[in-house]
Every structure is written in structure tokens, then in C-alpha cells.
Structure 1
Amino acid sequence: MNATTAPAAMPPRRVLGAYLAEARSECLRYLRAPSFILPMTLFSTVFYLMFGVLLNHPGSDASRYLLASYTAFGVMGPGLFGFGASLAIERDGGLLTLKRALPMPPGAYLLGKMMMAMVAASLVVVLLLALGLTVGGVSLGPARVLAMLAVGAFGVLPFCALGMFVGTLIKGQGAPGLLNLVYLPMAFLSGLWLPISMLPGALQTLAPVWPSYHLNQLTLSAVGLRAGSLLPHVLALLAFAAAFLLLAARRLRRYG
């Protein structure tokens, strides 16, 4: 018989195993790379140590405010750089093409990078909480600590989508520079370095445009410095993540 038999579908257990193996390899690969993990974890912690601890009274509202804002600042980094810069570099090197040729689920590569970013963001939050609860004199109950960890782990996802989109726009060598042009101004304009009330009026009006503003509202609520509904901020982050994920997926389909 000359009839061609269609290949059998991969069993669900093997599909799940492929996703888990890719996520594990991505996490180990970047956690074992000092050039990635050290800047990601130390950048925001050093800033908080200088401005939230040394230049403020331990246990003050300012120290708590800066713990929340530098947590948001630190969480952005693994999504933008761990996802965006690495994706751009791996596209240039042909690794993404190789991954597509392997017998693995098509989404495993991207899911693995998302898991890596979530692990790195959680590590940033743990380090900042350790500083805040010890030398910073910040007092947080177990529920607020868990809320901070949850915001950090899931709050990185919109920035993964943004990083993924930027990674499809530019060559690998130029990605870190472009991402810094996104990362640092967005943090400033969202009130992560200075309270929004200290910014010019026009910039205060534009602050809700940035996803980092909405993430900061969640971290401020987690440390007890903000009251009110969090649903608008959660929905804004979900909409931002979905929009940039769709844009990035479209470019990957077209240009690889």
C-alpha cells in the first residue's frame, strides 16, 4: 500500500513532560548565568538599599513606599531583558529556528521563558522583602508578604509580552539598548522613583498609560499603602499583556 499514514499525536503526558523539561532548562540556564541573574537581582535591591534604607528612617512610610515601588521596578527587568533581549539574541543565532524544528510543542519555548522570568522576578521580590523586613524596618504580616510574592510572580507577565514584542523588532546586539530606553523612562514616568504627585501635571495625567503604573498600584496595595479596588489595574495589565502578546506572535509568524 502506498497510502501515507499520519503520525500519531503525542500523548498528553509526553506533551506535559516536554513543557516541563523546556521550562526547567530555561530556568537553570539563566539562573546559572551570573551575567544575567546578578544584574536582574541586584539592580533594584541596591537602589532600595540606598534610597529606601540609608536615606530614610527605617520603618517609615517612605521606606515602605520605596519597597513597593522598587519591587515593581525590579519585577519589570526579568520580563523585559530575560525575555526580550534573549529572544532577540537567539533569533539572530538561529536557536529559535532550531527549536521550531525539534519535536516539541510549539509553545514550549515561550512558556519556558515565561517561567524563567517568573522565577527571577520572585527571587527579586524575596531579596527586597528580606532587606525591607530587616534593615528597612518595614513590618508586614504573612498575608502581605504572600501578596507581594504573588504580585511579583504574575506581574512580570505583561513585561514578558512587551519584551517579546521588542525582541521581534530588533537585532540581538541592539536589544539591550532599546529595552533600556523603554525600561528606565517608563519606571520614572510611572512614579517608581518619585511619587507621581511630584511629577509635572501633564506627566501625572499620562501615568496610567504605562503598565508599570498599574503594577505599582498592586505593590502599594500589598504593603498597605493603597486602598480601593484593584480590579481596574489587574484588567489593565491583562489587556496590555494580551495586546503585546498578539503583536509579538504576529511578527514571529511573519519574520521568525
Structure 2
Amino acid sequence: MSQLIKLEVLRVLRNRRYLFFTVLFPVMMFYFYATGFKNQMFNDISYKTYYMVSMATFGTVGAALNTAMRISLERKSGWTRQLRLTALPGWAYVLSKVVAAGVVTLPAVLAVFGMGAVEGVRLSAGTWLGMGLLVWAGGFVFSAAGVALGYAAAPDAVQPITMIGYMGMAFLGGVWFPLTGGLKSIGQYTPIYLYNELAKSPLNGVSVGAGQVAGLVAYLAVFAALAAWLYQRDRKTI
């Protein structure tokens, strides 16, 4: 399983589309927002810091959901069928996909945080570390979602479904702008909103919210269970 994870990570890091959409694009968007809003504030947090966290989570979710497209291509090419003929257990294949997706989310976090430091975001070492760990750990929720989506959608349809879901969740999750009013009443239950709020909790010395953690753990359990069920269903059709 460790070899499969290693191969998966190396394959992803060689993918130029991955590097652009999950690393360079969030960095460019953060730079656009940082120079546009400069020193404006929102709820005692500078917009520059707000968008740094949002773009880090945006890139992380994109890297995690990209797993869906890789799985769909493997299903189409017959690679998953070949793996099932080996001694690799089914649970190890699914787990390797989730772990590999968690590893490849790190470049997005490091790149956006690095640009944040360059653009003048000044935080204590503990705050940087706390936010980084929360962003990275929260990404596993979407890694499980990516595995489930890879088995749920047909290979030819997975890319548009992933992009629509990705952008829709980002909109309702407050990635592009802070949510208020009726939009917040809906968006606050989405996984990306919970993810963003959890990631921003160290900024004002606020303890990690139990509700946010519980919500993300619930989403993780649902996505993981769905991924396992869809994997078994796909296995029976071959």
C-alpha cells in the first residue's frame, strides 16, 4: 500500500493541470484579493488574512476532489480491475487514495501561506502552525468525497460534476466573500463553510469550535461510508 501511495503522489505532482488549478490559481487569486482589499477589515480580521485562509482551503479542496478524476480514468482504463487481481485488499486501495490525496493537498497550503507572508500577513508562529494543521487535516474530508465521487460518476461525466460541485460548495462556503443574511443561513451547514470557519479559529485565539469539528467528522463519516459502498458496488459490476 505504501508503494501505491508513493506512486500516486508522484503521478499527481507531475500533473501540470493539478499544479495550476490547485496551487498556482489559488495563489494568484489571493494576490488579486490582497492587493484589491489591502488593509480593509471584516469582523476584526483583515480581508487579506481572510482570503489567505479561504484560498488555502480552496486549493486544498480542489486537490482532494481531483482524486475523483484520477479514479474515473483508472476505472475506464481497467487499472482498478488489474489491482483487484493482486493481493492488495480493497480497503487498502481506497485508503491509499485518501492518504495520497491528503499528501498532495500540502503544496496548496504552503504556497498560499507563503504568498500571505510575502504580502504582509503577520501572525505568530503558533497561529501559522495551527491554521496550517487545521487546513491540512480538514482536507481529508474532501479526499473521502473525491473517492466517493470517482466511483459514483461515469468516467465521461466526472469532470463537469466535480467542477460544478467544487464551485458550488466554494460559493456557499464563503470562499469568495463573507456570507451574511439568508445565504449564510444556508451556507453554514455546508462542509466548506465549516472547514473555513475551523481554519480561521486560531486567528483571534479562539478555541476550535466543537460544532465545526463535529460537523466535519460527520461529513467525513458519510463520505467514507459512501466511498466504501460505491467501491464494493463497482467491484461487483466487473
Fold match (TM-score > 0.5): yes
- Measure, in 1, the Cα distance between the counterparts of 2:92 and 2:14: 20
3-state SS of 1:153 partner: helix
1:98 counterpart = 2:51: no
CA contact (8 A) 1:85 1:175 kept: yes
Deviation at 1:45, TM superposition (A): 1.1
Partner of 1:137: 120
1:191 counterpart = 2:171: no
- Measure, in 2, the Cα distance between the counterparts of 1:117 and 1:211: 17
Identical-residue share of aligned pairs (%): 26
1:213 counterpart = 2:193: yes
- Measure, in 1, the Cα distance between the counterparts of 2:179 and 2:207: 18
- Measure, in 2, the Cα distance between the counterparts of 1:43 and 1:253: 35
1:182 counterpart = 2:165: yes
Unaligned runs of 5+ in 1: 1-18
1:249 is matched with which residue: 219, 228, 233?
228
2:182 is matched with which residue: 202, 216, 221?
202
Alignment of 1:58-77 (within 5 A): 61-77=46-62
1:26 counterpart = 2:8: yes
Counterpart amino acid of 2:123? L
3-state SS of 1:113 partner: helix
CA contact (8 A) 1:30 1:116 kept: no
Counterpart amino acid of 1:230? G
The structure-2 alpha-carbon separation of the partners of 1:226 and 1:173, relative to structure 1 and needing over 3 Å to count, comes to: farther
- Measure, in 2, the Cα distance between the counterparts of 1:170 and 1:179: 9
1:55 counterpart = 2:36: yes
- Measure, in 2, the Cα distance between the counterparts of 1:233 and 1:50: 29
Partner of 1:240: 219
Deviation at 1:114, TM superposition (A): 2.0
Partner of 2:102: 118
Partner of 1:231: 210
- Measure, in 1, the Cα distance between the counterparts of 2:213 and 2:12: 28
How many residues get paired?
231
Structure number, greater radius of gyration = 1
CA contact (8 A) 1:59 1:138 kept: no
Cα displacement string for residues 97-133 of structure 1 (whole angstroms, at most 9, x for unaligned residues): 1111112233332222222222221111110111001
The structure-2 alpha-carbon separation of the partners of 1:239 and 1:192, relative to structure 1 and needing over 3 Å to count, comes to: same
3-state SS of 1:209 partner: coil
Cα displacement string for residues 126-183 of structure 1 (whole angstroms, at most 9, x for unaligned residues): 101110011x210011111211221222111111122222212222222111011101
1:155 is matched with which residue: 119, 138, 142?
138
1:167 counterpart = 2:150: yes
Q: Given the two structures, how large is their TM-score scaled by the length of structure 1?
A: 0.84
Q: Given the two structures, how large is their TM-score scaled by the length of structure 2?
A: 0.90
CA contact (8 A) 1:41 1:74 kept: yes
